[in-house]
Amino acid sequence: MGLARFRPASVLLILAYSLLLILGIMHHEPWRDEAQTWLAARDLSIIDNLRYTRYDACPALWNLLLVPFAKAGLPYSAQAILNLLIAVVAVSVFVLRAPFTFLTKTFFIFSYYIAYEYAVIARHFMLAILLIFIIISFYRQRFSRPLLYSFLIFLLSNSSPFAFCFAFPLVLVYIWELAREKSSPSINVKSCLMAALIMCFSAPLFLLQVYPYPDSLHSAVFHNICTKISPAAPLLAVKNAFLPFIGGQNPVLIVLSLACLIFLSYPIFLRPRASFIYLSSLGALFSGFIFHMRGELRYDGFILIFLISGLWLCAYYPPGKTLNTALEGSLKKIHSFVLNIFLSFLVAFSIYSYYLEIRYYFSGAGDMAAFLVRNNLTQDTVVAQNGLSSSAILAYLPKTRFWYAGHKRFSSHFIFTRENFLANHVTKEEAIRELKSRFPDSAGRVLLLTIEPLEVGRQDGFELLHRTKKRVFRVEDEVFYLYRYKGGD
């Protein structure tokens, strides 16, 4: 499989992808996970951004990329634009360099995960995908330009936990290949050894950033890793990687998706080194599903990313076993057909997601923030029932803090300690009691923000100002209700 040639059709494909993403982010309402990163970059110091990675269980690279834009006072939309640019560059590398047919490339870049989940929803995932694609496109030069290769691996390791799953096997294979080929005249052993040291250093640095503090929400999971395991989680994740949104835990679809993954992986299995990288990456990812992260499409999509990356790596390694020429030709055609069929399903899911995005709200945060700005309410005291959900609104409001009822303080960025997480879940009644006790003489000047409406009998003393106007199709606990407190018991 050779590298793709540059051609005008590829440019048009990248342009079409870019225009689709612009349409997506114009209609997307970011939710709390997107907001948390922006709030950290905007409201915390650089040192604190580095410290709080151990609460978020994610390396700091994406946060640090956002810091200059957030500190400069740019609007919240800058995060989506940055992610869009990263996505376009990643897709450009893939379209121009990956050894797939034009049809496969088209289906892949317009599939659900690449065109929507990782591109429209701005988090660290697309940054990791960009670095994976750059590294694989650069893979042939890993020994001729070892320091640049090690720098890319270093960035990849510190971009996302999922990226680390892929980066570490690459490091092990590099060291093994260096030990075997060190006598080759084309290899500068000193430079390659320095590169290997840099890559190895990325592992402890990653662990230092994600190892949870004792009071972290993730600490209990980390230290009691075998108390709640889900051996079947990887099977459901495989189904979701190919067929999200449909079938739930349907065993037929799970078996079909698993069979598809195994068959589509067969070219990788013929190449021992590519197979080691691919299976190690999947193994690490599946371990995460079993012991901790499960039930989220944004995690499951990395099964597809690792599959495509493994197939791309096949371009650099000859097969360890040769098949009958006629059989190999038939298998290639069947492989391409099956891959395109499943990618076409994912394109359909992408179209459906764009339909929902355009017609409804992903989150009600943007609508509520717009109401507060439009009615000059951003300086009023707002008591929020749910701090984590309400933080999605604060990302739009640079100088505003809400009083988080459960935490009993003004805040914006949510720190994921166990105490904060438990305090976050307060009822409407508890939020009302906190408002009345904390701001007893502020009738007419304090607002109550809830994620569920007040019952008719409990609206005495409260005037409904605004509620989320449209259906929220994705983040159902970010439907907001804003009341003005008028006084009374």
What is the per-residue pLDDT for 466? 96
Whether residue 2 has pLDDT greater than 50: no
| CA gap 485, 489 in Å, rounded | 11
pLDDT confidence tier of residue 8, bands split at 50, 70 and 90? confident
What is the per-residue pLDDT for 220? 60
| CA gap 217, 421 in Å, rounded | 7
Instruction: Give the mean pLDDT of the chain.
Output: 92
What is the per-residue pLDDT for 182? 78
Q: Phi first, then psi: what are they for 269, rounded to 5°?
A: -65, -20
Closest Cα to residue 347, out of 112, 118, 116? Answer: 112
What is the per-residue pLDDT for 295? 62
Percent of the chain with pLDDT over 70: 95
| Lowest mean pLDDT segment, chosen from 65-79, 213-227, 245-259 | 213-227
Q: Phi first, then psi: what are they for 416, rounded to 5°?
A: -85, 65
pLDDT confidence tier of residue 296, bands split at 50, 70 and 90? confident
Q: What are 317-353's pLDDT values in tens digits?
A: 988 777 677 777 889 999 999 999 999 999 999 999 9
**Angle between helical axes of 325-359 and 102-109 (0-180°, round to 10):** 30
Whether residue 445 has pLDDT greater than 90: no
Contact 449, 481 (CB under 8 A): yes
Please, what's the b/e burial string for 433-448 (b: 16 or more CB within 10 A of its CB; e: otherwise)?
ebbbeeeeebeeebbb
First CA to last CA distance, the chain: 74
Whether residue 1 has pLDDT greater than 60: no
pLDDT confidence tier of residue 425, bands split at 50, 70 and 90? confident
Alpha-carbon Rg of the chain, whole angstroms? Answer: 25
Task: Say which residue the tokens 């569920």 belong to.
Answer: 452
| CA gap 56, 53 in Å, rounded | 5
Q: What are 170-194's pLDDT values in tens digits?
A: 999 999 999 988 778 788 999 999 9
**Among the ranges 63-67, 216-220, 242-246, which has the highest mean pLDDT value?**
63-67
Give the H/E segment covering residue 383. strand 381-384
Q: What are 276-289's pLDDT values in tens digits?
A: 999 999 999 999 88
What is the per-residue pLDDT for 294? 61
Average pLDDT over residues 429-435: 93
What is the per-residue pLDDT for 329? 82
pLDDT confidence tier of residue 355, bands split at 50, 70 and 90? very high
Q: How far is CA 276 from CA 167, 315, 318, in A?
A: 12, 15, 14
pLDDT confidence tier of residue 225, bands split at 50, 70 and 90? very low
For strand 481-485 and strand 446-450, is the pairing parallel, antiparallel, or unpaired? antiparallel
